[in-house]
Amino acid sequence: MTDTKEITLAKYAGFCYGVKRAVDTVKKIKAENPDKNVYVLGELIHNAQVIEELKSFGVISLDILPEKGDGICVVRSHGESPQKFEQIKNAGFEVYDLTCPDVKKVQQKAVELVKDGYYLVIVGKEEHPEVSAIKANALMYGDNVLVAGKVEDLYKYADELKEHKNIGVVVQTTQTLATLNPIIEYLTSVSKELKVVNTICPSTSKRQAEAKELAQNNDLMIIVGSKNSANTTHLADIAKKYTKTIHIETSDELSNYEDLIKTSSKIGVTAGASTPQNVIDNVVKMLK
């Protein structure tokens, strides 16, 4: 690699408020309860390095909730269904809710729309734990709820949506406006009344806008973070529209792209909301 490279690190790369709060709080819970089992239902955040670090502290991720257990069970930042909260309590765990405040707001808005008689459309990935929890909370108050990951997902519900007339929309916190806007345009054509609550979190919006700007001004973009992280993959999708882009989880993967890096004089670097600072620093250090 040459020494003439211009490397720009995004201002908003790395942990967002919700993720930092979750990670710091889980460490604190374990430190204050050294003799108790501390579990997280699922992965606290989508980052393998953080999960391994928490494991070294004695915090264990549970893939499946046992029928009987003891100690503390943390609900991760993506949230859970009301039914799952009950299951955790009934299993004998002490529940600690670390649902991200921004995700809580989406759940609350979804419930409000259903209670007010709107047909609810959740914009997001059906299989994502955040979306599953939003949907489960909304379904407690009505049956007219569906998830759309893209505008095409709505076409088969056209008659149903037209018949209902009043449609409400909430959005997965890590979604993009590029996904949301075509859905709004389509729903406008089939509804008498459309109420859209843009619940993309501010951190996500800033991160995505900065990724777009960096991509427009660099020969190569490097996106750092888990391949399972929705917000990180969205950053890569945005950057790809404007310049060459690679998505890596750690600095170890940079060697796979050595030729591409050598031929790029201006490199932009950003990272998902669940990517630790030391992982980002190692990438920048290796590039330099």
Q: Tokens 């050598």 — which residue?
A: 262
Helix, strand, coil content of the chain in percent (nearest 5): 50, 20, 35
Q: Are 149 and 126 in contact (CB under 8 A)?
A: yes
Radius of gyration (C-alpha) of the chain in whole angstroms:
21
Q: 130, 160, 210, 258: which is the annotated catalytic residue? A: 130
Residue partners of 33: CB distance under 8 A and separation at least 6: 71, 72
- What is the C-alpha separation between 68 and 34, in angstroms, rounded? 21
Count of C-beta atoms within a 10 Å radius of residue 72:
20
Q: Is 130 a catalytic residue?
A: yes
Q: Are 75 and 95 in contact (CB under 8 A)?
A: yes
Catalytic sites, residue numbers: 130
